[in-house]
Amino acid sequence: MKKIWLPLSLLLLLAAPRAIAAPSPAEEATQVIRIGSKPFAESYLLAEIFAQVLESEGFEVSRRPGLGSTEIVFGALRSGDIDLYPEYTGTGLLAILKEQPQTNPREVFRHVSQVFESRWQIHWLPPLGFQNTYAVAVREDKAEQLHLKTLSDLARVAPKLVAGLSPDFMGRPDGLPGLSEAYGLHFGKTRPLLQALKYQALNQGEVDVIDGYSTDGRLAQASVRILEDDKDFFPPYEAVPLVGPRLWKRFPRAVEVLSQLGGRFDASHMRRWNQRVEVERESVSSVAADALAELGLSSAVHTKAEDSEKEQSKSFLAYLWGRRSLLFRLSLRHLFLVGVSLLAAVLLALPAGLALERAPRFAEGVIRGAGVLQTLPSIALLAFMIPLLGIGVVPALAALFLYSLYPVLRNTYTGVRDADDEAARAATALGMTPLQVLRQVRLPLAAPVIMAGIRTAAVINVGTATLAAFIGAGGLGDPIVSGLTLSDTRMILSGALPAALLALIVDGLLALVERFVAPRGLRAES
């Protein structure tokens, strides 16, 4: 009986780095300003600019970039998990308030400011000075061939075309649904594509039309034509620092510093800075520092961001070595997420599986119920947790825990149920009670099957935990999400390869535990 609990001891060891990997007390202290962003380059860059200008004034900042869609990052602001992120007035009007489009920038800003403050005590600071409206782009050769200049022209031929659109655009009222209603726009085929992949797909002819942003850094590099919004469908999208109630009340000086950014930016500068990040692959932190220097806001900004200058000439191994400290910290956080969630799942699923073996009538129904959780897309399960638990480590642990239940529960029940009946009958004939037979015969014989379920759950968790980056939980998903956003293959691999290695290591360690807990006779056979 004791041996079967040894995997739990190992899982406790896996969870041990939490003191290092979990958010530090300082990060959770009231003096830290938490800045979030959405997962696209301009949002990363603006969030970093906010962080650096606050740090230059002596404030302590925690960065939580790439938090996912508008719903996720705004939900984090409402719940107090972050204090600030860059948002756009048109997005606030249509995607958050779900109201009809307006075309007057001053009226839109006035309206969203009033409603957000009265409803959620959330404040729009002065606009930064540029708009980043949606843009619909077509390959130049296709536009010439089909005589496309406006969105009305596009609606005429759309059934013959393939559109590659971001998931956010496909679901928002100021995106494809609204365009379809305003212009009668219906494409022959629509493919969901990440923002970073759309220009590549367009240039390679895999799609004919994409959505983009007017300040995209790739616009100057791509042979595309931006179609005129001839019905003025898109509302104004002024970029604005969006501030939560905690920052507004507790840090008036920080609000004053951020307000000084108002009116300092313009679209041409923003497009050039985005190009440096998206096309020239410069680090977000260095571009942000240069941007602040150009704006005359700081000549030597102190930042705690990783100092990663342009590294295109370095080999991949040198690149990994240069990021070794960061990758080590991310690996510890990843191990913490996997270890704690898996330990919790084993503590629940193992005794539940043993109990179901004594009540076979209910077993399949309960196990299939747990199996339903496996059918939910992991990113959706993470998103479902946000309204209940906010963002960060806690919702990630809850989602990973639910994902781990089914393999452990199924294998525990199956292993105990199918243990050697002859051995169990012999033990009963010797006078052992049913509980003794379970503990001393069936459970040891089932140990390899149970451990196989734990190993399966562990490997699934290592992979699924990479998606926790979308809700600010950290781990090896951070460089993967950032790399996808910035089209940086090396950054993607710097997270993906350690995650794959971590899965192999965890599985290998649990394989050793499996051999140890198996009865000697079964070990000899293997």
Cα dihedral sign, 388-390-393-395: positive
Q: What is the pLDDT of residues 506-518, one digit of tens each?
A: 999 998 888 877 6
What is the pairing mode between strands 189-192 and 162-165? parallel
| Among the ranges given (1-15, 172-186, 198-212, 320-334), the one the predictor scored with the smallest mean pLDDT | 1-15
> For residues 440 and 434, what is the distance between their CA atoms, to the nearest angstrom?
10
> For residues 409 and 103, what is the distance between their CA atoms, to the nearest angstrom?
56
Please list the alpha-helical segments (H only) found in 376-432.
Answer: 378-389, 393-417, 421-429
Asked whether this chain's domains 3-13+324-525 and 31-131+237-305 adopt the same fold, the reply is: no
Predicted pLDDT at 241 = 97
| Residues 6 or more apart in contact with residue 337 via CB below 8 angstroms | 393, 396, 397, 400, 461, 465, 468, 473, 475
Average pLDDT of the chain is 83
Predicted pLDDT at 12 = 44
| Among the ranges given (1-5, 55-59, 382-386, 502-506), the one the predictor scored with the smallest mean pLDDT | 1-5
Cα dihedral sign, 314-316-321-325: positive
Higher pLDDT, residue 523 or 37? 37
Residue 46 near residue 239, CB atoms below 8 Å: yes
pLDDT of 387 over the 50 cut = yes
Using DSSP, how many helices (H) and how many strands (E) does the chain show? 27, 10
Residue 164 near residue 198, CB atoms below 8 Å: yes
Residue 525 pLDDT level (bands cut at 50, 70, 90): low
Going by C-alpha positions, the residue among 202, 136, 187, 135 that lies closest to residue 157 is: 187
Q: What is the mean pLDDT of residues 146-157?
A: 93
CA-atom Rg of the chain in angstroms: 27
273: left (phi over 0), alpha (psi -120 to 50) or beta: alpha
Cα dihedral sign, 282-288-291-292: negative
Predicted pLDDT at 335 = 93
Predicted pLDDT at 212 = 82
Predicted pLDDT at 381 = 74
Model-level pTM?
A: 0.70
Q: Dihedral of the CA atoms 286, 291, 296, 300 (nearest 10)?
A: 0
> For residues 129 and 268, what is the distance between their CA atoms, to the nearest angstrom?
11
| Among the ranges given (90-99, 198-207, 479-488), the one the predictor scored with the smallest mean pLDDT | 479-488
| Residues 6 or more apart in contact with residue 26 via CB below 8 angstroms | 32, 60
Predicted pLDDT at 389 = 79
**The CATH number of domain 3-13+324-525 is 1.10.3720.10:** yes
> For residues 378 and 374, what is the distance between their CA atoms, to the nearest angstrom?
8
| Residues 6 or more apart in contact with residue 115 via CB below 8 angstroms | 97
As its CATH architecture, domain 134-226 has 3-Layer(aba) Sandwich (3.40)
- Token couple for 156: 């005429």
Going by C-alpha positions, the residue among 265, 285, 220 that lies closest to residue 88 is: 265
Predicted pLDDT at 445 = 79
Q: What is the pLDDT of residues 409-466, one digit of tens each?
A: 999 888 888 776 666 667 666 667 666 766 666 777 788 888 999 999 999 999 999 9
Predicted pLDDT at 156 = 93
Residue 265 pLDDT level (bands cut at 50, 70, 90): very high
> For residues 320 and 311, what is the distance between their CA atoms, to the nearest angstrom?
11
Residue 219 near residue 202, CB atoms below 8 Å: no
Residue 521 pLDDT level (bands cut at 50, 70, 90): low
> For residues 412 and 342, what is the distance between their CA atoms, to the nearest angstrom?
15
**The CATH number of domain 31-131+237-305 is 1.20.810.10:** no
CA angle (434, 416, 338) in 5-degree steps: 125
Q: What is the pLDDT of residues 210-240, one digit of tens each?
A: 988 888 887 766 678 889 998 888 888 999 9
- Token couple for 166: 């971001």
Predicted pLDDT at 247 = 95
Q: Dihedral of the CA atoms 312, 484, 192, 201 (nearest 10)?
A: 10
Please report, for the chain, the start and end positions of each structural domain, with discontinuous segments joined by +. 3-13+324-525, 31-131+237-305, 134-226
What is the pairing mode between strands 189-192 and 209-213? unpaired
Residue 488 pLDDT level (bands cut at 50, 70, 90): confident
pLDDT of 337 over the 60 cut = yes
Cα dihedral sign, 411-414-415-417: positive
> For residues 72 and 283, what is the distance between their CA atoms, to the nearest angstrom?
25
Mean pLDDT comparison of 24-33, 173-182, 449-458, highest-scoring range: 449-458
What is the pairing mode between strands 209-213 and 123-124? unpaired
Please list the alpha-helical segments (H only) found in 98-173.
Answer: 105-120, 140-146, 151-157, 167-171
